[in-house]
Structure 1
Amino acid sequence: MQNYILSALTTLLVVADPIFLSALFLGLTSDMSEEQRREVALRGAVIAFCILLVAGLGGAKLLDLLGISLSAFRIAGGLLLLWSAAEMVFDRRAQRREDIAKSAITIDHVRNIAAFPLAIPLMAGPGAITAMILLAGRAEGDWSRLFALYAVAGAVMLACYSCFRIAVPISKALGITGRAVISRLLGIILAALAVQFVIDGVLALSR
């Protein structure tokens, strides 16, 4: 059991990478208030945990039932992530703020960012979902191991949330110029990550 928990914790931490995600979180929420960032962080962590929970309970069967392969899921997630990266690089959110009333953004925009791209495909992306499916398979129906796996997933999501909360004061220290530079830089990194998702999915399909 101890080896299983350690393996699950290591795998999910490496795949989720909370420290790297906290940097992306800064870019995605650069136009939000502290309260909105807190809501995005909490909602994102909860949504991502629910996705991982479903993946562990029967993700493989669900994808098979829908006729969707993990490779196709990876490609779709990568393409959607690429769109979000383009927004960060070209600062299209600023243009959108001019076209949409601030009151309309407050609720819908915050919830949308929490669900996509923060929760999926960043926190609970193809890698994390695949890891959950494989780790659940290793449990071989042992409910004590499955419970431990879900507890580990919850702990990893809590670690992500904690890193997001630490990222908020960092954003204040950077200032407007610093946030603008980092947002574009991270947008390029996010675009590269999205392209890698697509490449991995295509390579897996071609095998």
Structure 2
Amino acid sequence: MDYKALITLLAIVNPPAIVPFFIHYTQGFSRAHRRHTVVVASFTAFLVIAASAVFGIRILEFFGISLASFQVGGGMLLLTSSLNMLNAKPAEVKPATNELEEGAEKAAMGASIAVVPLTIPLLTGPATMSTVVIYAERAQTVWQLATLVGFGVVIALVTAVCFALANPIARVLGQTGINVLTRLMGLILAALAVEVMAEGLGKLFPVLGRAALGG
């Protein structure tokens, strides 16, 4: 499995950029409650990635969607996410919705905010899921698919470390440092998004691929 998949997922999920949200939503939590939130959020992120890798292609087949079409749509979604990140916003932010406010209300009522909004949509949302499905289709062997699921473990561990060290990270990087890191990841993601879209368009319109090769 190409390690480009791991780089792409790290760029999209970008746990350090979610640290300020984690600090905000866990204000007033006891140490045990905050630790529980870290574990649940990290494990849920892994579950989302693993489920997308194992069942994503079957879901596409069920709805009769070609992978090429999904690559173009997924690439556009990644490009949109990268534009968010270039504006120093988390990749999965949805400005037109009230999911973050709803998450805060749930926290106030004592419900866990580890799944919503920390994991979904801030950490792993549509862009993350579509990326995993695209790379899952490229897996030629069970080992390669297992490696992709293993990348989910890496993402979960990075998330757990960032959330567990949220306060030190926020102090060291500061908001400016987090914004710079988010923009850098956004630039990388934009390039990867164009590559995914180009591959999908080449499958949908073979003439484009021949034109690119000069033939």
Q: TM-score, normalised by structure 2?
A: 0.57
Task: Give the superposition deviation at 1:15.
Answer: 4.6
Query: 1:104-160 CA deviation, whole Å, 9 max, x = no partner?
Result: 2736976123212312367x454444333433x412xxxxx5995587355324422
Same amino acid, percent of matched pairs:
8
1:88 to 2:97 alignment: no
Task: Give the superposition deviation at 1:182.
Answer: 1.9
Looking at structure 1, the residues matched to 37 and 181 of structure 2 have their Cα atoms a distance apart, in angstroms, of 18
Structure 2 residue aligned with 1:26, among 13, 19, 25? 19
> Counterparts in 2 of 1:154-193, with a 5 A limit?
155-171=153-169, 173-174=171-172, 178-193=173-188
The amino acid of 1:57's aligned partner reads: V
Residue matched to 2:138: 134
Task: Give the superposition deviation at 1:73.
Answer: 1.6
Q: Over aligned residue pairs, what C-alpha RMSD do you find?
A: 4.3
The amino acid of 1:138's aligned partner reads: T
1:196 to 2:181 alignment: no
Of Structure 1 and Structure 2, which has the larger fraction of its residues in helix?
Answer: 1
SS of equivalent residue, structure 1 residue 54: helix
Looking at structure 2, the residues matched to 154 and 205 of structure 1 have their Cα atoms a distance apart, in angstroms, of 24
Between the two proteins, the alignment pairs up a number of residues equal to 180
SS of equivalent residue, structure 1 residue 72: helix
1:54 to 2:51 alignment: yes
Looking at structure 2, the residues matched to 63 and 102 of structure 1 have their Cα atoms a distance apart, in angstroms, of 30
The amino acid of 2:141's aligned partner reads: R
Counterpart contact for 2:82–2:187, Cα < 8 Å: no
Query: 1:67-98 CA deviation, whole Å, 9 max, x = no partner?
Result: 25123123224314534664639xx9xxxxxx
Query: 1:158-180 CA deviation, whole Å, 9 max, x = no partner?
Result: 42233324541423543xxx522
Q: TM-score, normalised by structure 1?
A: 0.59
- By relative contact order (CA 8 Å, sep 6+), the higher-ranking structure is 1
> Counterparts in 2 of 1:1-80, with a 5 A limit?
13-17=6-10, 21-29=14-22, 31-33=24-26, 35=29, 41-66=38-63, 67=65, 68-80=69-81
Task: Give the superposition deviation at 1:205.
Answer: 3.4
1:206 to 2:201 alignment: yes
Task: Give the superposition deviation at 1:185.
Answer: 1.7
The amino acid of 1:50's aligned partner reads: L
Query: 1:24-75 CA deviation, whole Å, 9 max, x = no partner?
Result: 3335545343658756644443333223333333322322443251231232
Looking at structure 1, the residues matched to 59 and 35 of structure 2 have their Cα atoms a distance apart, in angstroms, of 32
Counterpart contact for 1:21–1:160, Cα < 8 Å: no
Residue matched to 1:95: none
Is there any run of 5+ residues in structure 2 with no aligned partner, and where?
94-100, 203-215
Counterpart contact for 1:70–1:130, Cα < 8 Å: yes
